A and B are shown apart, each in its own frame.
Chain A
């Protein structure tokens, strides 16, 4: 579903030109579950931004669902983002003046979906993340874990094909963090492609595919442990 071929990216920092992504090749199939790990400055967030069409690649190709995205302009990328990609951020990024339900509805509003249908879709995803009784609460009234669940609801409300999570548990305590990861994994089992950036090795170990970014270079490995977990769940 996703194909990165020979992707390169340079950043201008003062008078220097930093080579942040170096000849990245990556294939991601539908339903894959990847973790991307690496030291800070390794380019993992940049990689995520590329995948999310938030930034443009300087050299190479990025194919998303058989579409070549490296030639799209900003407007086209925005449109594609809204339809196919869901984001989850470390700092949740909810709008403080809107309620949980209204935050979740934002992508639907952007897509000009009718109010009645919106309501239905929002209720559905809130149920999925288990926040139906908090729908009218403002962000100030929710805990960290709840906030991230709202963010997840928002990320999936448009039924995207790909979810990109950038350190989703970074601002959460151990317990809430685990809840969030389990929620994301359950969504993945339903067919959502999940790419997770994290520096928490425990979290990183759970994914089926493990990507390492060091100094802009990508490398990959897989663990037995993750494979077994999946087998266990599917047998139940």
Chain B
């Protein structure tokens, strides 16, 4: 039988059993749609994280004070160690040829007030390189002065939320803020950026690092962000930095350097695994649908035994009968899957309209995987019914 005729033949079967076909199609479509939707959830999350990291630039190294040699590994999250990481250390690192810029960071907590309003915020002390390294832009005013690492200028940049809370709409540039009894002049406002990997940039105060040093009365750096030129051997640069600090710290290697890459990789791996798991869980529904396919096909074969016997009498071969029944399931599954995929796309589209910040995306591979699994299910679960159909003996069914 020509393929076109097989398709038409099966189409007539579907039309005859509309309700049955519909229920089965519903199950398959549901399974396919959920696989796509769930994997797209995971994938969208992964891309979100990747985007956030990409914004931070690729060649970023992060130096933390402290080192752990414990069996579990681990990063010294406390940022506290007996020997301080200092601006002088940062300056020495910046002399390396491969280093493009260095942003030393002091991080603290302060009570900011303007006239009668006040607020507790996170205070960051850094240099002009900080805005660049973190990919932050200004809404108005200027960035940190170039001599932030040398002179403790009483100037500050504020985040957009801080601006609203303290100045409610007024132009803050030039106004004087008080932070823990110290006074600073506002020279810039950060553009609305929102959260950047944990730090809420809107609710922040940024000072020159020397000013922060004076404010908190401690030269201890919280981190050093290092931007590298495009280098072929990043590992050797990292080694060099370890050496520089070790020499300066009485031969103790008491810092930890992590690369943006490794952190991003870690997140990536977690999210990929998560996506795969939920995709798999959703795919279980396709297995259940497959069982229904098998069940319905077996019933159908049972009911159509005379028809099968006739076809054989008319010259249909064993193989052709099998093909017809396998194709029946396959056709159904393909059409139902396409419907499911379309529904999933619709839902994603609607979700993106409703909550544009989320930006869901259904990657092409998820469609292919869902369709592939559905088709595989059809093949596997129609195998037995098709075999049963093929062995129907014309002699038995044609009598009377």
Report A's interface with B, CB cutoff 8 A. Answer: 45, 49, 52, 54-55, 74-75, 78-83, 87, 89-91, 93, 95, 97-98, 106-107, 109-112, 154, 166
| Interface hits, B375-400 → A, CB 8 Å | 394-395, 398-400
Q: Chain A interface: which of B83-91, B167-175, B231-239, B304-312?
A: B304-312
List of 3 A-B pairs having minimum Cβ-Cβ separation, nearest first: A82-B315, A97-B16, A78-B317
Is B1 on the interface with A (CB-CB < 8 A)? yes
22 CB < 8 A contacts A-B: A54-B312, A54-B313, A74-B317, A75-B317, A78-B316, A78-B318, A80-B315, A81-B314, A81-B315, A87-B314, A90-B400, A93-B310, A93-B313, A93-B398, A97-B13, A97-B15, A106-B314, A107-B314, A110-B311, A112-B5, A154-B314, A166-B398
A55-B395, A110-B1, A111-B315 known; A91+B400 contact, CB < 8 A: yes
Is B51 on the interface with A (CB-CB < 8 A)? no
Is B320 on the interface with A (CB-CB < 8 A)? yes
Q: Which residue, A78, A97, A111, has most C-beta atoms of chain B within 10 A?
A: A78
| Interface hits, B292-329 → A, CB 8 Å | 306-307, 309-320
Report B's interface with A, CB cutoff 8 A. Answer: 1-2, 5, 9, 12-13, 15-16, 306-307, 309-320, 394-395, 398-400
User: How far, in whole Å, are A95 and B310 apart by their CA atoms in the complex?
Assistant: 9
Q: Which residue, B16, B313, B394, has most C-beta atoms of chain A within 10 A?
A: B313
The residues of A that contact B315 with a CB separation of less than 8 Å are: 78-83, 107, 110-111
B310 contacts A110, C-beta separation under 8 Å: no
The residues of A that contact B15 with a CB separation of less than 8 Å are: 97
A109 contacts B306, C-beta separation under 8 Å: no
Choose among B2, B13, B312, B314 the residue that contacts A112 (Cβ–Cβ < 8 A). B2
What is the interface of chain B mostly: helix, strand, loop, or mixed?
A: helix
A82-B314, A98-B12, A109-B5 known; A93+B306 contact, CB < 8 A: yes
User: How far, in whole Å, are A133 and B315 apart by their CA atoms in the complex?
Assistant: 28
State how many angstroms separate the Cβ of A44 from the closest Cβ of chain B.
12
State how many angstroms separate the Cβ of B323 from the closest Cβ of chain A.
12
The residues of B that contact A80 with a CB separation of less than 8 Å are: 315
Choose among B2, B316, B395 the residue that contacts A54 (Cβ–Cβ < 8 A). B395
A81 contacts B12, C-beta separation under 8 Å: no
A93-B398, A97-B13 known; A52+B313 contact, CB < 8 A: yes
User: How far, in whole Å, are A49 and B398 apart by their CA atoms in the complex?
Assistant: 10
CB-CB nearest in chain A for B9: A109
State how many angstroms separate the Cβ of A138 from the closest Cβ of chain B.
11
State how many angstroms separate the Cβ of A60 from the closest Cβ of chain B.
18
Choose among A54, A55, A106 the residue that contacts B311 (Cβ–Cβ < 8 A). A106
Choose among B312, B395, B400 the residue that contacts A78 (Cβ–Cβ < 8 A). B312
CB-CB nearest in chain A for B307: A95
User: How far, in whole Å, are A107 and B398 apart by their CA atoms in the complex?
Assistant: 17
A110 contacts B313, C-beta separation under 8 Å: no
The residues of A that contact B16 with a CB separation of less than 8 Å are: 97
The residues of A that contact B309 with a CB separation of less than 8 Å are: 93
Taking A75-B317, A78-B318, A97-B12 as known contacts, 15 extra A-B pairs with beta carbons closer than 8 A to each other, sorted by chain A number, are A45-B399, A49-B395, A54-B394, A54-B395, A54-B398, A75-B318, A78-B312, A78-B315, A87-B398, A90-B400, A109-B1, A110-B1, A112-B2, A112-B5, A166-B398
